[in-house]
Structures are given as structure tokens and as C-alpha cells.
């Protein structure tokens, strides 16, 4: 009989994490680090759900057995292969409620025999845990600064030196502006962004301070949870300042390699806010591959937006002109403006794969 564990104990285990829900459920959101090993396809899950409503549980169970039966051998081989790759650590299994789907796969694993663990309450319980994470107080500090001051690069450099950092833009696969998704992987759902964010915060629990970038309420289409957003609004801000030319160079480095058509489309999306004259100049500069000229048109708009937001949020300015991200991080630590985390390996604080260089 597979052991059932509550969320925190289950997450603390080291075995491979397998989510047996359908692919669509998994794409909507899952425990970070999980692998999808679906018991049913999306169409099969829909068929069984309809049958359960129309004909009852027994008919749905029988149909499920008929669908899964021919695939049992292949699934057993998958389970055995995963167990071999992970030196026999327990297989951690989850489904939506921790019910029949994960229990069925656990039964199959036990026939091999392979050790298994089940998440009590399933992914639904994990989601309750995620939302509760944002309600608790966190020792947040924000890194602010106008567009192009390299805040994300600086945060990553601080993390590499042992500071406690959560890279919101890396978790969201977006840099936070109309141009923010260019060159980055597709964004996760807001649900999965929350999952990644709660997991990242939990990994830093116990730090004296946790650094985030000063963001809007949404990073692309990913919304920062309201409870955490309220804490961010009360957090102290360290405002990075750099000369205009450095900021332009930073933006050219990031966006000068992007598809000109995508840059033009992103410019048109904010045309009403840029105004017709600036929009026309920016589009002409993009067509001519004059990236510095295009960036300067955008900076006027984004600087006004940032200054308006900052006026309601007192901050401590720090001049970092002429310093690369690594040198700036060393300076902030030396001045005591940032604390090193009191635990763990700096590598554990690095952002997930796919994190992009920041523009804000």
C-alpha cells in the first residue's frame, strides 16, 4: 500500500515526481519539476467524465479500465525506466484529488515492485498550499529603476553571490513591457506562474530579505497574486540609476537581435500611448535597423510611466553607472545594501531555465 503524505512532506521527498492527469490538466498547472505520465488522454478524460455524469461511477470505472488495460505493459515499463534512472528512489505520484488515477498507477508500480508515495489530496491540495504561501508575510525588498537599467541582470548577479532572489520575469518568461515576450519561451498560465512563484519563495524561507524586481501587477499575462502584490507595495525599494546611453545600449543588446516585424508590432500595440509622432519615428527607426533611435522613442514613454509609479513609493537611489551587473552586485553587497542569504548554496537561488535578460 502506497504511503500518502501531506503537501510539505511530499514536496520534501527526493523521488521523481509524476503527474498522471491528462496533458491539458498538466499544461494548465502542475507541481514544478513534475513529469506528465497521463493515465488518460484529454479526449478519454472528457469521455469518462461525461459517462460518469450520465451513467454513474461504475460505468465510468469500467470504461476507464477498458481504455487503460491495453497500455498497462507500456506504462509499467515507463515506471520501471524512471525508477532505474533515479536509483530506486520512491516514485511520487499525484492526480487531481489524490484519488483513483494516482492510486491505480501506484498499484501498478507496486506489482514490479517499485516504492511509491501519493500526495494526500492531490494537485488540488497543492494549489491550496500555493495560495496560502502568498498570505504569509515575506521579508520583501524591491529592486527598481527605469527601463534599461539592467535590473534583472543585477538580480541574477546578486543571486550568484548568495543573495535571496526571486526572478519574477524569469518565472513568467516575460520582461514586463509590450516588447517583453520577444525571444522568450511561451508564458505559463497564471496558475502555473503562481505554482512556480510559491515554490521559489518557499526555497528561500528563512532569509533575512528576499529581493524581487519592482513590477506592475501583471508580468505579461501572468498576474502577481494579490496578497503578495500588496506586500510588494509596502516593501522598500532600491532604485538603480544609470546614464541614458548605458540604458540605450542595454536595450539595443536585448532587442536589437529580435525580429524587426515583431518589434514593429509591439510598437503599434502602444501607439496610442506613444502618440502618433513618436510611433512614426520609432517605426521608421526599426525599418532602418537604427536600434538606438527606436529605443529612445520608447524610453520617453516608459520613463514617464515609471516616474509616476515611483512617486507614490519612496525609494533609495543608487548610482551604478559604468558598472557591469557583477561589479554592481559586489558593490551593493560591500555597502551592506543587500544581505547574503543565511543558508544554502548560491546555485539554489538561480532562476529557472528559460529566464530572460531584463529590460526594466
310 or 196, higher pLDDT = 196
Per-residue pLDDT for 340 more than 70? yes
User: What global pTM score does this model have?
Assistant: 0.90
Question: Where does the pLDDT of residue 354 fall: very low under 50, low under 70, confident under 90, or very high at 90 and above?
Answer: very low
Average pLDDT of span 167-176:
95
Q: Would 355 be classed as within a structural domain?
A: no
| Mean per-residue pLDDT over the chain, rounded | 91
Model pLDDT, residue 304: 87
116 Cβ contact list (under 8 Å, min separation 6): 2, 3, 90, 91, 92, 93, 106, 109, 110
Residue 354 lies in a domain: no
Question: Can you tell me the distance from the alpha carbon of 81 to that of 250, in angstroms, rounded to the nearest whole number?
Answer: 46
pLDDT computed for residue 87 by the predictor: 84
Residues 160, 68 contacting (CB under 8 angstroms): no
**% of the chain exceeding 70 in pLDDT:** 95
Residues 6+ apart with CB under 8 A from 194: 29, 130, 131, 134, 225
Residue 242 lies in a domain: yes
Residue 135 confidence (pLDDT): 96
- pLDDT bracket for residue 75 (50, 70, 90): very high
- Identify whether residues 283 and 250 lie together within a single domain: yes
Q: Check residue 68 and give its pLDDT.
A: 87
Domain CATH code at residue 52: 3.40.250.10
What per-residue confidence (pLDDT) applies to 301? 86
pLDDT of 355 higher than 80 = no
Choosing from 131, 162, 188, the residue where a domain stops is: 131
For residue 169 the three cell numbers come to: 520575469
pLDDT tens digits, 90-148 = 999 999 999 999 999 999 999 999 999 999 999 999 999 999 999 999 999 999 999 99
Distance in angstroms (rounded) separating the CA atoms of residues 332 and 154: 10
Task: Give the active site residues.
Answer: 95
Q: Which domain holds residue 301?
A: 137-349
What integer pLDDT is reported at residue 352 of this predicted model?
38
Q: Which of 83, 116, 131 is a domain's end point?
A: 131
Same domain for 100 and 226?
no
In a domain, 263, yes or no: yes
Q: Do residues 148 and 226 share a domain?
A: yes
pLDDT digits (tens, 9 = 90+) for 262-313: 999 999 999 998 999 999 999 999 999 999 999 999 998 889 888 877 777 7
Which has the higher per-residue pLDDT, 346 or 238?
A: 238
Amino acid at each position: 500500500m502506497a504511503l500518502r503524505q501531506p503537501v510539505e512532506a511530499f514536496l520534501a521527498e527526493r523521488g521523481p515526481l509524476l503527474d498522471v492527469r491528462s496533458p491539458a490538466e498538466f499544461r494548465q498547472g502542475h507541481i514544478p519539476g513534475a513529469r506528465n505520465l497521463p493515465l488518460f488522454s484529454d479526449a478519454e478524460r472528457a469521455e469518462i467524465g461525461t459517462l460518469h455524469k450520465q451513467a454513474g461511477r461504475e460505468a465510468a470505472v469500467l470504461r476507464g479500465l477498458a481504455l487503460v488495460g491495453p497500455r498497462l505493459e507500456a506504462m509499467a515499463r515507463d515506471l520501471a525506466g524512471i525508477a532505474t534512472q533515479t536509483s530506486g528512489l520512491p516514485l511520487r505520484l499525484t492526480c487531481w484529488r489524490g484519488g483513483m488515477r494516482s492510486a491505480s498507477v501506484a498499484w501498478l508500480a507496486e506489482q514490479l515492485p517499485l516504492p511509491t508515495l501519493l500526495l494526500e489530496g492531490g494537485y488540488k491540495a497543492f494549489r491550496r498550499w500555493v495560495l496560502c504561501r502568498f498570505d504569509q508575510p515575506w521579508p520583501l525588498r524591491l529592486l527598481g529603476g527605469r527601463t534599461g537599467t539592467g535590473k534583472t541582470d543585477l538580480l541574477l548577479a546578486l543571486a550568484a553571490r548568495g543573495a535571496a532572489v526571486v526572478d519574477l520575469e524569469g518565472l513568467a518568461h516575460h520582461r514586463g513591457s509590450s516588447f517583453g515576450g520577444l525571444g522568450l519561451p511561451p508564458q505559463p498560465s497564471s496558475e502555473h506562474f503562481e505554482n512556480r512563484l510559491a515554490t521559489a519563495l518557499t526555497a528561500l524561507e528563512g532569509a533575512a530579505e528576499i529581493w524581487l524586481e519592482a513590477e506592475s501587477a501583471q508580468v505579461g499575462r501572468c498576474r502577481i497574486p494579490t496578497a503578495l502584490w500588496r506586500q510588494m507595495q509596502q516593501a522598500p525599494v532600491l532604485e538603480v540609476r544609470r546614464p541614458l546611453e548605458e540604458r540605450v545600449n542595454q536595450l539595443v543588446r536585448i532587442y536589437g537581435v529580435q525580429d524587426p516585424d515583431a518589434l514593429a508590432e509591439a510598437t503599434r500595440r502602444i501607439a496610442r500611448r506613444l502618440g502618433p509622432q513618436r510611433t512614426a519615428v520609432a517605426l521608421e527607426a526599426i525599418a532602418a535597423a537604427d536600434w538606438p533611435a527606436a529605443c529612445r522613442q520608447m524610453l520617453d514613454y516608459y520613463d514617464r510611466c515609471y516616474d509616476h509609479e515611483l512617486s507614490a513609493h519612496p525609494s533609495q537611489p543608487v548610482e551604478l553607472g559604468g558598472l557591469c551587473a557583477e561589479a554592481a552586485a559586489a558593490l551593493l553587497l560591500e555597502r551592506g545594501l543587500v544581505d547574503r542569504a543565511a543558508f544554502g548554496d548560491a546555485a539554489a537561488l538561480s532562476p529557472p531555465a528559460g529566464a530572460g535578460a531584463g529590460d526594466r
